[in-house]
C-alpha cells in the first residue's frame, strides 16, 4: 500500500470521529454549555492536559495496567495449566467438568464483595478478581486446544516413551502455543474491563477510581478525559497484541493451522 | 487359522545379515484383536529373526496396519501377545521405531530437521553435547545433510519421509516398523528410498517389518512376505524370497525369480479379493 492510499484510507476512517468532535464543540459553544454532566471537547482536552501534567493520569494508568496484567497472566497461566491437564487426562476432565460448568457462569463482578471481604482494598484484591475472571475461559480454550493436538504427534511421543513433563513441554505446549496466545489476547481486553469495573465499584485506585471521583466531584470534563483515555489504552493494547500475534504466529492468523 | 513358522533358515545372498539361529527378535503369539464384537485380527503367530526383513501385504481391511501398531505397542492385543527378545511387549518401547505413512503429521512443524531428529535423542537421554554430531551424521546418511536447518514445511514429501526415517534411526531401534511409508511418494523417490532403507537396515542390522500394498515393493525389500487375509485379519501364506542381496532396482526386478514371485502373489491377492 502506498503512502498516499494509507493517508486516504486513514482520512476516510477519521472523518466521522472528527466530524462528531467538531459538532460537539459547535453545539457546546452555541448553547454556551454550563453543565454538571456534559463538557465540550475543548474543556475535555484542557482537563486531559492538566491530568497528564500533574501525573495523576499516568499513575492511575500504571496502577490499572499493573493489576490487569498481573491478573491476566495469573488467570490465563493457571487456567491454561488446568486446561492442559484436563485435555490430557480424561479422568480429570470427567471429574471436574460439572464443577467447572457450574462455576463458569458466575459473573466475576459478583465475586467483588467476597474477595474484598477476604483481602480488603488494594491491588491484591483487584488482581485476584481479574485472575478469577480469566480462569475459566482459559481453562476451556486450553482444554479444547490440547484435544485438537495432532494424534499422530501424541503417538510419536508414546513411541519415544517421553515422560509426562517432556510430553507437555516438547509436544503439547509448542502445539497449542498459538491458541494460548489467542487466549491471552482475548483475556487482555477483558482484564481491562474487569479492572476498571473493580476500581469503579470498590477499589480506591487506578483509572476506574479516577473516573468515579471526577463524576462525584461534578467535573464532567475530567470524567470524559478519563473515559477517552481508557478507550485509547484499551485500543493500544489490542493493536499491540494483534501485531505480536501476526509476527509470532503468522500461519495461525492466516487460518493455515499450526 | 494359525500359522506358526520358526525361522531357522539361513538368509539368502548378501553376507551382511545377522545369523538367524537362536531366539527370534520378535515373537507374535496367537494375537487377536477385537473392538467389541468386531474381530480385526483373528489369531496371528509369527517369529521374526534378528536382522530379517518381513514384508506384509494383503487387501485393505486385512489388519496390516493394526498388526504393525501392535508390534509398536500402540495397540493392545485382545488375546495372545508380542514378545521382543523374549520379554512381553507391554506398550511402546524405544527399541521399536515406527515410520508412519503420513510424515506430514508425524513431524514437529515447529522444529527444524535437526530438531526433529534431536527429539528422539532427547527421549533416550543422549547428552546434549553429543547430539549435534549424531544429528549431522544421521541427516547425512539419509541425504538431508544440507537441510538440517529447514522446517518440515519447507521440504518435499520425500525429504519429510527421509527425515522421519532419520528420527526413527536416532532411536537406535532393534526393530524398524514401516507403515506404507512410501505410498504417497512418486515412483522415482520411492525407489531411491527403498534402496536407502535397505542400505540402512543392512548397516544397522535392524529387523524390519514393512507394510505395503505394493507387491513389487514387498518382494524387492523382503526376506519373507507375509500375506494377510481379511475378515478377520490372519496369515494366508508366508512366501520366502530367495533373491540375492544387495538388491538392484533393475537387475533384481528382471530376475526370473522376482517375476515368478510377482505372479504368485498377484494370484494369491486376486483370490482374496474374490
A254 has a chain B CB within 8 A of its CB: no
A168/chain B closest Cα distance in angstroms: 13
Q: Using the beta-carbon criterion (under 8 Å), do A159 and B98 form an inter-chain contact? A: yes
For strands B79-84 and B26-35, give the pairing. antiparallel
Which of A222-226, A251-255, B123-127, B215-219 has the least mean pLDDT?
A251-255
A169/chain B closest Cα distance in angstroms: 12
Which of B123, B128, B151 best tests the A interface by mutation, with the highest count of A CBs <10 A?
A: B123
Chain B contact set for A162 (CB, 8 A): 123
Q: Report the share of chain B in percent with pLDDT over 90.
A: 80
Question: Residues B256, B263: contact at Cβ < 8 Å?
Answer: no
pLDDT value at residue B17: 42
Query: Is omega for the bond preceding B235 within 30 degrees of 0, making it cis?
Result: no
Q: Using the beta-carbon criterion (under 8 Å), do B93 and A160 form an inter-chain contact? A: no
Distance CA A197, CA A119 (A): 17
CA-based end-to-end distance of chain B = 19
Hey, what's the cell of B222?
A: 523382503
Q: Does A63 score more than 50 pLDDT?
A: yes
Chain A contact set for B173 (CB, 8 A): none
Reduced DSSP (H G I as helix, E B as strand, rest coil) percent helix, strand, coil of chain B, to 5: 35, 25, 40
Please report which confidence band the pLDDT of residue B112 belongs to, taking 50, 70 and 90 as the band edges. Answer: very high
pLDDT value at residue A250: 81
Please report which confidence band the pLDDT of residue A38 belongs to, taking 50, 70 and 90 as the band edges. Answer: confident
pLDDT value at residue A71: 95
Please state the separation of Cα B127 from the chain's center in Å. 28
B73 has a chain A CB within 8 A of its CB: yes
Distance CA A194, CA A111 (A): 11
Distance CA A143, CA A135 (A): 12
Chain A contact set for B72 (CB, 8 A): 159
Which of A26-40, A44-58, A99-113, B222-236 has the least mean pLDDT?
A26-40
Q: Using the beta-carbon criterion (under 8 Å), do B100 and A155 form an inter-chain contact? A: yes
Chain A contact set for B100 (CB, 8 A): 152, 155
Instruction: Using alpha carbons, select from B98, B104, B107 the residue that is nearest to residue B74.
Output: B98
Distance CA B164, CA B99 (A): 7
Please report which confidence band the pLDDT of residue A32 belongs to, taking 50, 70 and 90 as the band edges. Answer: confident
> Which residues 6+ apart lie within 8 Å of A41 measured at CB?
A21, A24, A25, A28
A101 has a chain B CB within 8 A of its CB: no
Quick: pLDDT tens for B154-191. 999 999 999 999 999 999 999 999 999 998 899 999 99
User: What is the secondary structure of A137-191 as a DSSP string?
Assistant: HHHHHHHHHHHTS-HHHHHHHHHTT--HHHHIIIIIHHHHHHHHHHHHHHHHHHH
Q: Is B233 helix (H, G, I), strand (E, B) or coil?
A: strand
Closest residue in B to A175 (Cα–Cα): B110
B96 has a chain A CB within 8 A of its CB: yes
Hey, what's the cell of B174?
A: 532393534
> Phi and psi (nearest 5°) for B29?
-105, 95
Hey, what's the cell of A78?
A: 493457571
A170/chain B closest Cα distance in angstroms: 8
A147 has a chain B CB within 8 A of its CB: no
Compare B16 and A70 and report the one with higher pLDDT: A70
Nearest to B105 among A150, A162, A174 (CB): A150
Q: Using the beta-carbon criterion (under 8 Å), do B74 and A159 form an inter-chain contact? A: yes
B70/chain A closest Cα distance in angstroms: 12
> Phi and psi (nearest 5°) for B80?
80, -175
As a whole number, mean pLDDT of residues A31-38 equals: 81
Distance CA A32, CA A39 (A): 11
B244 has a chain A CB within 8 A of its CB: no
ipTM of the complex: 0.86
Nearest to A159 among B92, B102, B105 (CB): B92
Chain B contact set for A179 (CB, 8 A): none
pLDDT value at residue B4: 44
A166 has a chain B CB within 8 A of its CB: yes
As a whole number, mean pLDDT of residues A203-225 equals: 91
For strands B26-35 and B87-88, give the pairing. unpaired
Residue A93, classified by CB atoms within 10 Å of its CB into exposed (0-12), middle (13-18) or buried (19+), is middle
Distance CA A144, CA A93 (A): 11
Residue A255, classified by CB atoms within 10 Å of its CB into exposed (0-12), middle (13-18) or buried (19+), is exposed
Distance CA A234, CA B49 (A): 68
Chain A contact set for B106 (CB, 8 A): 152-153, 155-156
A180 has a chain B CB within 8 A of its CB: no
Q: Using the beta-carbon criterion (under 8 Å), do B105 and A153 form an inter-chain contact? A: yes
pLDDT value at residue A12: 83
Q: Using the beta-carbon criterion (under 8 Å), do A158 and B92 form an inter-chain contact? A: yes
Quick: pLDDT tens for B9-68. 444 443 344 444 578 999 999 999 999 889 999 999 999 999 999 999 998 888 999 999
pLDDT value at residue A192: 94
Q: How many CB pairs under 8 A join A and B?
A: 50
Q: Does A36 score more than 80 pLDDT?
A: no
Q: Does B6 score more than 80 pLDDT?
A: no
Residue A35, CA distances (Å) to A13, A41, A50 in order: 31, 13, 20
Residue A132, CA distances (Å) to A96, A121, A218, A234 in order: 17, 17, 34, 20
> Which residues 6+ apart lie within 8 Å of B246 measured at CB?
B13, B14, B198, B199, B202
Q: Using the beta-carbon criterion (under 8 Å), do B94 and A161 form an inter-chain contact? A: yes
Instruction: Using alpha carbons, select from A121, A107, A114 the residue that is nearest to residue A199.
Output: A121
Hey, what's the cell of A114?
A: 467476597
Amino acid at each position: 500500500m502506498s503512502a498516499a492510499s494509507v493517508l486516504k484510507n486513514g482520512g476516510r476512517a477519521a472523518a466521522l470521529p472528527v466530524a462528531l468532535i467538531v459538532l460537539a464543540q459547535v453545539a457546546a459553544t452555541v448553547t454556551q454549555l454550563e453543565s454538571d454532566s456534559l463538557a465540550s471537547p475543548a474543556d475535555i482536552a484542557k482537563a486531559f492536559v492538566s491530568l497528564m501534567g500533574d501525573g495523576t493520569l499516568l499513575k492511575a494508568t500504571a496502577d490499572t495496567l499493573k493489576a490487569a496484567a498481573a491478573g491476566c497472566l495469573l488467570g490465563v497461566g493457571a487456567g491454561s495449566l488446568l486446561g492442559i491437564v484436563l485435555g490430557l487426562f480424561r479422568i480429570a476432565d470427567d471429574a471436574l467438568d460439572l464443577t467447572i460448568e457450574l462455576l463458569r457462569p458466575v459473573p466475576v463482578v459478583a465475586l467483588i464483595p467476597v474477595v474484598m471481604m477476604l483481602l480488603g482494598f488494594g491491588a491484591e484484591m483487584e488482581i485476584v478478581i481479574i485472575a478469577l475472571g480469566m480462569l475459566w475461559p482459559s481453562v476451556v480454550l486450553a482444554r479444547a486446544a490440547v484435544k485438537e493436538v495432532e494424534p499422530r504427534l501424541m503417538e510419536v511421543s508414546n513411541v519415544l516413551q517421553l515422560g509426562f513433563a517432556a510430553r507437555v513441554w516438547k509436544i503439547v505446549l509448542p502445539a497449542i502455543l498459538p491458541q494460548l496466545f489467542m487466549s491471552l489476547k482475548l483475556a487482555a481486553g477483558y482484564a481491562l474491563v474487569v479492572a476498571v469495573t473493580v476500581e469503579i465499584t470498590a477499589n480506591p485506585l487506578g483509572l476506574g477510581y479516577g473516573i468515579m471521583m471526577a463524576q462525584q466531584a461534578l467535573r464532567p470534563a475530567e470524567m470524559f478525559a478519563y473515559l477517552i483515555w481508557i478507550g485509547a489504552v484499551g485500543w493500544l493494547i489490542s493493536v499491540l497484541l494483534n501485531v505480536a500475534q501476526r509476527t509470532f504466529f503468522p500461519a495461525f492468523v492466516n487460518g493455515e493451522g499450526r | 487359522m494359525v500359522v506358526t513358522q520358526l525361522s531357522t533358515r539361513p538368509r539368502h545372498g548378501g553376507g551382511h545379515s545377522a545369523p538367524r539361529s537362536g531366539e527370534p527378535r520378535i515373537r507374535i503369539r496367537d494375537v487377536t484383536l477385537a473392538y467389541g464384537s468386531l474381530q480385526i485380527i483373528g489369531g496371528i503367530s509369527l517369529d521374526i529373526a534378528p536382522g530379517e526383513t518381513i514384508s506384509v501385504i494383503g487387501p485393505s481391511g486385512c489388519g496390516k496396519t493394526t498388526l504393525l501398531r501392535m508390534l509398536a505397542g500402540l495397540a493392545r492385543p485382545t488375546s495372545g501377545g508380542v514378545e521382543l527378545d523374549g520379554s512381553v511387549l507391554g506398550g511402546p518401547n524405544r527399541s521399536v521405531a515406527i515410520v508412519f505413512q503420513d510424515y506430514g503429521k508425524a513431524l514437529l512443524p515447529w522444529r527444524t530437521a535437526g530438531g526433529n531428529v534431536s527429539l528422539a535423542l532427547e527421549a533416550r537421554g543422549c547428552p546434549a553435547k553429543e547430539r549435534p554430531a549424531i544429528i549431522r551424521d544421521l541427516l547425512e546418511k539419509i541425504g538431508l545433510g544440507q537441510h538440517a536447518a529447514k522446517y518440515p514445511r519447507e521440504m518435499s514429501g520425500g525429504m519429510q519421509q527421509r527425515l522421519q526415517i532419520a528420527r526413527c534411526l536416532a532411536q537406535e531401534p532393534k526393530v524398524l516398523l514401516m507403515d506404507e511409508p512410501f505410498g504417497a511418494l512418486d515412483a522415482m523417490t520411492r525407489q531411491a528410498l527403498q534402496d536407502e532403507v535397505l542400505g540402512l537396515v543392512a548397516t544397522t542390522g535392524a529387523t524390519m517389518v514393512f507394510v505395503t500394498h505394493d507387491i513389487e515393493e514387498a518382494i524387492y525389500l523382503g526376506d519373507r512376505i507375509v500375506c494377510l487375509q481379511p475378515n478377520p485379519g490372519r496369515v494366508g501364506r508366508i512366501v520366502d524370497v530367495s533373491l540375492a542381496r544387495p538388491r538392484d532396482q533393475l537387475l533384481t526386478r528382471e530376475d526370473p525369480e522376482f517375476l515368478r514371485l510377482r505372479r504368485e502373489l498377484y494370484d494369491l491377492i486376486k483370490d482374496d479379493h474374490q
